Amino acid sequence: MKKGKLIIIGLVVMALISGCGKTADSKGNKANSTEQTKDIETANETEQNKDVQTEENADKQEGEEQQIPDEENVSVQTGDNIKVYYSNADASGFESEEVAVESLSSNEVLKALVDKGVLPVDVSLLSFKEFEKDNEKLLELDFSDKFNTYIKTLGTSAEYYIVGSICNTFLDAYGSDKIHITVNGDVFTTGHAEYPGFMGKFN
């Protein structure tokens, strides 16, 4: 009888152990299932984020391409117009003409004077300064020796209109009040006159 009770108790214990094992397995399986579900959800979210980012990049790229301006809307700098002064045919007065230049620069103004026959092509500017002093807009031009050589070949009247054409053209182009001309850094002197200081417009 006592032996029979021991057998029954042993069977009950084995049943309990078996039940606990199944419960642990069930919990383990449930935990594994939960982890797998989380991994699947994370993977899905990552893929969705990639898809959204790809679409956003595509939209951004498309927007950038649409911002490229048409050729008709591109502004083109056409340069400036300046008034070039020169002597009339009998060297008795000034004439002037509006001409186009690529940009407002001392070399472009000089080129315009050369094109109108005011100066020979071998004359060049060594330096050019634009500044203000005592509420006046001033210009300083330093020409090469070729300029003085050319001026000395002219008569008194021709010299007046050549120098006046240079002064008037530069003063008008830069909206300045006075101009000072030197030659190779020295005082501009010819056989007819000396130009030591600043000059206004010639009449």
| Domain C-terminal end among 71, 91, 108 | 71
Residues 111-115, mean pLDDT to the nearest whole number: 98
- The 10s digit of each residue's pLDDT in 89-108 is 998 999 999 999 999 999 99
> Is the residue at 151 inside a domain?
yes
Residue 68, pLDDT score: 36
Statement to judge: residues 34 and 118 lie in one domain: no
> Distances in Å between the alpha carbon of 44 and those of 49, 178, 185?
9, 79, 81
Statement to judge: residues 57 and 99 lie in one domain: no
Statement to judge: residues 89 and 172 lie in one domain: yes
pTM: 0.62
Residue 117, pLDDT score: 96
Residue 69, pLDDT score: 39
Residue 50: pLDDT band (50, 70, 90) is low
Statement to judge: residues 179 and 161 lie in one domain: yes
CA 102, 108, 112, 118: dihedral to nearest 10 degrees? 180
Query: 43-55 burial by CB neighbour count: b if 16+ within 10 A, else e?
Result: eeeeeeeeeeeee
> Is the residue at 13 inside a domain?
yes
Residues 50-72, mean pLDDT to the nearest whole number: 47
Q: How far apart are CA 38 and CA 46, in angstroms?
A: 12
Range in 29-33, 81-85, 142-146 the model is least confident about: 29-33
* Whether the Cβ atoms of residue 109 and residue 128 lie closer than 8 Å to each other: no
> Is the residue at 100 inside a domain?
yes
Statement to judge: residues 129 and 111 lie in one domain: yes
| Domain C-terminal end among 19, 39, 71 | 71
> Is the residue at 11 inside a domain?
yes
| Domain C-terminal end among 71, 100, 127 | 71
Residue 70, pLDDT score: 40
How many percent of the chain have pLDDT more than 70? 62
Q: How far apart are CA 147 and CA 141, in angstroms?
A: 11
Residue numbers of the domain that contains 103: 80-195
Statement to judge: residues 49 and 131 lie in one domain: no
Statement to judge: residues 31 and 93 lie in one domain: no
Residue 79, pLDDT score: 72
More confident of the two residues 167 and 43: 167
Q: Which long-range contacts (CB under 8 A, 24 or more apart) does 7-10 make?
A: none
Q: Cα(first)–Cα(last) distance of the chain, in Å?
A: 149
* Number of domains composing the chain: 2
> Is the residue at 200 inside a domain?
no
Statement to judge: residues 151 and 115 lie in one domain: yes
